[in-house]
Amino acid sequence: MAETADYLIVGGGIIGLNLALVAKTRNPESSVVLIEKEPSCGFHASGRNSGVLHAGFYYTADSLKARFTRDGCKRLTDYCLQRGLQINQNGKLVVARNEGELKDLDELFLRGKKNGVQLEEISARDARQIEPRARTYERALYSPSTAAVDPSEVVRSFLSDAIELGVQVRTDTEYIGRNGSDIRTSRGSFSAGYVINAAGVYADAIARDFGFAKDYRILPFKGLYLYQDADAPPVRTAIYPVPNLEQPFLGVHLTVTVGGRVKLGPTATPAFWKEHYRGMANFRLAEMSEVVSREALFFLRDDFSFRRLAIRELQKYSRSHMVRTAGELAEGLKLEHFSQWGRPGIRAQLVNITKNKLVMDFCYEADKNSFHVLNSVSPAFTCALPFTEHIFDQIEISAG
């Protein structure tokens, strides 16, 4: 016998959990069930990211990311403070490595102004007063509202909010397939009124079961982290490079965890299957064939400068290369202080396979029966509160 759910949410990351919270808050009488294939929520990107609450100056004003990052940062900061969750409100510097990067630094400043983000353009001298180890060419940007949290702690807090509100959270329960509104899982079937797919790196595959995501595939990009030893000289403020504005990755940076540890990363290394964290873990042959053949094609044709990206990122498997790269942003980083790799994360990056382009903004598709969050990339963690409210507005329109 199938169980029933008015709203069935697939995926217990920060997006699925907040969608469940919005669904139950707006429809207290409805049954809201969230299924998560892993033993706990936040097992993938939501628990394996940098934990940075971004301020919102990277994104062009017409994007969904610009709309939600500034407010998301403020709301998640307030949430952490109210709940007593750990938060490091240490701000962030964006530094230029050479004269050529000043143009894009100025572009970020303009984007910040258009997006209503508090951002200061400062001299190299002022940058060193904020963070004595910062290296920059002529000037830098300072974002006082950027903060760092413990992402797993935040996920756990949203999970307990959801359970308290009456959301039924079923872990170890994997979406397998569907027959109409009948959803098959590894633990029985659900007759679902409305299905919301927030399955991260698997969202494209699930969307295809519903006739969506025809133009898209999700490519996994691995983010490696390297930790500085606890007794090495500290860094106070996060330091980021000027990113390549044509790509959605921010480049290797230095962040300071809520526990005060300095970490370098993440890389954006093309992975060979979707949950390819280490060694042969979570290996799936069919998945690898698809991912690797697509990556090989992008590499040969050099679509979206994939060749340069892949070569550059693969070099960062070397500890000395990582430390050297980060050393362009901060003085006095020593290889012998960086002995510990952290838990890697996988970015679920959407690619438009008809245009052969990385999708830069959040992206979703929906109809009256289902909604599919297709490109839940960074900074979706920061944006989770306003983004999921927006998604639910769209669901109310689609479902009629």
Residues that bind ligand FAD (CB under 6 A): 10-16, 35-38, 43-46, 48-52, 54, 174-175, 198-200, 202, 223, 266, 345-347, 376-382
Given a contact cutoff of 8 angstroms between Cβ atoms, the answer to whether 249 and 221 are in contact is: yes
Rounded distance between C-alpha atoms, residue 227 and residue 369, angstroms: 45
Given a contact cutoff of 8 angstroms between Cβ atoms, the answer to whether 44 and 38 are in contact is: yes
Rounded distance between C-alpha atoms, residue 283 and residue 273, angstroms: 7
Smallest gap from Cβ 338 to ligand FAD, in A, equals 17
Q: Which residue is nearest to ligand FAD (CB)?
A: 13
Smallest gap from Cβ 287 to ligand FAD, in A, equals 12
Measured from the CB atom, the residue of 36 and 139 that comes closer to ligand FAD is: 36
Smallest gap from Cβ 148 to ligand FAD, in A, equals 8
Rounded distance between C-alpha atoms, residue 173 and residue 381, angstroms: 23
* Full 3-state SS string of 351-380: EECCCCEECCCCCEEECCCEEEECCCCCCH
Q: Which residues pair with 340 in a beta bridge?
A: 227
Measured from the CB atom, the residue of 53 and 105 that comes closer to ligand FAD is: 53
Q: Which two tokens stand for residue 328?
A: 């362009």
Helix axes 306-314, 285-301, angle to 10 degrees: 120
Q: How many CA atoms lie within 13 A of 116 on its CB side?
A: 9
Measured from the CB atom, the residue of 139 and 207 that comes closer to ligand FAD is: 207
Smallest gap from Cβ 140 to ligand FAD, in A, equals 20
CB atoms inside a 10 Å sphere around CB 98: 10
Given a contact cutoff of 8 angstroms between Cβ atoms, the answer to whether 226 and 316 are in contact is: no
Rounded distance between C-alpha atoms, residue 179 and residue 359, angstroms: 30
Q: Which two tokens stand for residue 215?
A: 């133009």
Measured from the CB atom, the residue of 33 and 242 that comes closer to ligand FAD is: 33
Q: Which two tokens stand for residue 182?
A: 């009948």
Given a contact cutoff of 8 angstroms between Cβ atoms, the answer to whether 13 and 40 are in contact is: no
Measured from the CB atom, the residue of 35 and 127 that comes closer to ligand FAD is: 35
Smallest gap from Cβ 376 to ligand FAD, in A, equals 3
Smallest gap from Cβ 270 to ligand FAD, in A, equals 13
Measured from the CB atom, the residue of 14 and 262 that comes closer to ligand FAD is: 14
Measured from the CB atom, the residue of 20 and 333 that comes closer to ligand FAD is: 20
Smallest gap from Cβ 82 to ligand FAD, in A, equals 19
CB atoms inside a 10 Å sphere around CB 109: 18
Smallest gap from Cβ 400 to ligand FAD, in A, equals 25
Can you tell me whether residue 285 is helix, strand or coil? helix
Smallest gap from Cβ 378 to ligand FAD, in A, equals 4
Smallest gap from Cβ 70 to ligand FAD, in A, equals 12
Rg for the chain (alpha carbons), in Å? 21
Q: Which two tokens stand for residue 99?
A: 């004269």
Measured from the CB atom, the residue of 119 and 148 that comes closer to ligand FAD is: 148
Rounded distance between C-alpha atoms, residue 56 and residue 67, angstroms: 8
The H-or-E segment that residue 177 falls in is strand 175-179
Measured from the CB atom, the residue of 48 and 133 that comes closer to ligand FAD is: 48
Measured from the CB atom, the residue of 33 and 139 that comes closer to ligand FAD is: 33
